[in-house]
Chain A
């Protein structure tokens, strides 16, 4: 076990620039057809499918065990 003297890092301009660009996503974001398409797929379509899948599974279980169907959103 040694001490914990701060030694610092010799910064690399490319690594720093890359890190900064990754950090301030809000400045690089543009609303393009591609981003709208991605939002439609991963923000709307996929969640809807998962939701429907979950509800169908609940309904199937209720039917299997003879319980009344639950009311969901």
Chain B
């Protein structure tokens, strides 16, 4: 019974937690934090059941739940997961308690509102990954903007946070409006927005092109692909650490997930038609973002631009339209969820102590913060896709997939791995090695127990995915094969 309703439970738990927080007295800050943390941990444990009870031998949507919503219009609350959405659900529930823990001391004002925003955000993100109705997918895809806008705008670090929040909100909202028009067009042609029904519909080639472009504008902003990426570094720099973790870990994946769930299977001919365009944008994204990363002097901007480069690899893999490329893209999305989040946590740890992210102030931290230096080293290795770490498996599979379809693009994209090594090692070298700069920072504190236990699971996950990726791939095979069946090359 519990397993049958597990998706409803997962969607409702954070919302109930958010409602529960409203009954706490304003002064009970610690109790509110503990309550929110416990709710997020219970949600995480529940989400692990998805993996335990997931049947790898079928491509069908599992744990399916159906509830009438606008039955007159053939629009219903319809949820279910396959191998692709499974790991994003677990990644989401894993990162939320991490975010609550990392902001345990740094968020001091409007604590209740912060916790409510995070729990609602968790529920919306989970809904996006399991929604099987196109219109409700759009609703939750957009709903994510509201708590995230507040998290950046209210709990951000500096004056520019308002500008960054608006930029984030407007960019993504304008992009998504085109998707709403496309959904209306689909509804008036098919008469429903049920994804399972839409999979059986064949749109005319001309209509596919229009619909694909409308969906693309929405997803490309969210990924973000160059030249739609301007909002991302601003949002990362101004967001609190927990906001950056969620942005890098989950929100960027909503766009690539949308490509895989909707654009590729629903509009296969348009997908092939636009593949060289996506390849071009992805390759430029990888190379341009990597060079831009080398130039940055703000620690968060370095990770933000490296995220743009990594997401370039992901879109490249998705549009290689073969098993290796698409599975590599999904693995790299998951890996990036761990690596980039962990790097943002590390930068947050430094910021909590020094209140600056300018790299010029840092140097020689290995002498005073050895534990921090160790963790930062592991995550840097993950960021440069060293063999044995999670990113390597994803990038390697993507390059294998792309090489089969287009050697020219694969060769250009491979330079991104070298550039990734360059900016990652240089970042580590500047922050951790060299001389201490006591003129700027003369008191140091290594990571404490809370921070240690926040970072440790990330190390485990990065090596686990890097050393034994089969466990993830087994759940992906059938779902990815089903998506690719719609493409007849």
Contact = CB atoms under 8 A, between A and B. Distances in A.
A4 B277 contact: no
A30 interface: no
B120 to A, nearest CB: 28
Contacts of B352: 4, 6
A73 B446 contact: no
Interface residues of A, number: 33
A31 interface: no
A67 B13 CA distance: 52
A33 interface: no
Nearest to B288: A42
Interface string A34-73: 0000000000001100110111111001000000001111
Given A10-B441, A57-B407, A58-B405, A51 B280 contact: yes
Contacts of A23: 160, 298
Nearest to B284: A47
A4 B448 contact: yes
Nearest to A62: B489
A15 B437 CA distance: 13
Interface string A1-28: 1111111111110011011001100000
A21 to B, nearest CB: 10
Given A54-B408, A72-B276, A9 B441 contact: yes
Contacts of B356: 9, 11
Interface of B: 105, 160, 272-277, 279-280, 283-284, 297-298, 349, 352-356, 358, 360-361, 371, 405-409, 412, 439-449, 451-452, 489
B440 A54 contact: no
A23 B352 CA distance: 21
Given A15-B360, A58-B276, A72-B276, 17 more contacts: A4-B352, A4-B447, A5-B443, A9-B356, A12-B439, A19-B360, A46-B284, A50-B279, A50-B280, A50-B412, A54-B406, A54-B408, A55-B276, A57-B407, A57-B409, A72-B275, A73-B277
Contacts of A71: 272-273
A19 B297 contact: yes
A1 B406 contact: no
A50 B447 CA distance: 46
Nearest to B360: A15
Interface of A: 1-12, 15-16, 18-19, 22-23, 46-47, 50-51, 53-58, 61, 70-73
Given A9-B441, A19-B358, A72 B273 contact: yes
A40 B353 CA distance: 44
A7 B284 contact: no
For B276, B440, B449, which residue has the most chain A Cβ atoms within 10 angstroms?
B276
A2 B440 contact: no
A22 B354 contact: no
B446 A47 contact: no
13 contacts: A1-B452, A3-B445, A6-B353, A6-B355, A9-B354, A11-B440, A50-B409, A54-B276, A55-B276, A56-B408, A58-B406, A61-B406, A72-B274
A3 B353 CA distance: 10
A51 B274 CA distance: 11
A4 B297 CA distance: 24
Contact of A53 (B349, B408, B447, B452): B408
Contact of A7 (B297, B409, B445): B445
Contact of B445 (A2, A56, A58, A61): A2
A9 B273 CA distance: 53
B346 to A, nearest CB: 13
Contacts of B355: 6, 8-9
B345 to A, nearest CB: 13
Contacts of B273: 70-73
B448 A1 contact: yes
B451 A50 contact: no
B440 A10 contact: yes
Contacts of B446: 1-2
